[in-house]
Structure 1
Amino acid sequence: TEIYRGSEYTVDFLPKIKIELVIADAQKDIAVQAIIKAAKTGKIGDGKVFVSAIEEAVRIRTDEKGDSAI
Structure 2
Amino acid sequence: MLLVRSIIRPEKTGVVLSELLSAGYPAVTKMDVFGRGKQKGVKVGDIYYDEIPKEMLLMVVEDSDKEDVIKIIMKYARTGENGNFGDGRIFVSPVEEAYTISTKTKGL
TM class by shorter chain equals 0.7 to 0.9
Q: What's the counterpart of residue 47 of structure 2?
A: 10
Q: TM-score of the superposition, structure 1-length normalised?
A: 0.74
Highest relative contact order (Cα 8 Å, sep 6+), 1 or 2?
A: 2
More strand by share: 2
Q: Report how far residue 11 of structure 1 moved.
A: 4.4
Aligned to 2:92, what secondary structure does the other structure show? coil
Instruction: Note the C-alpha offset of 1:14.
Output: 3.5
Which of structure 1's runs of 4+ aligned residues deviate more than 6 A? Answer: none
| Equivalent in 35, 45, 48 of residue 89 of structure 2 | 48
Are 1:25 and 2:66 an aligned pair?
A: no
What amino acid is the match of 2:88?
A: G
Letter of the 2:64 counterpart? A
Give the % identical residues. Answer: 39
**CA distance in 1 between partners of 2:101 and 2:94 (Å):** 20
How many matched pairs? 59
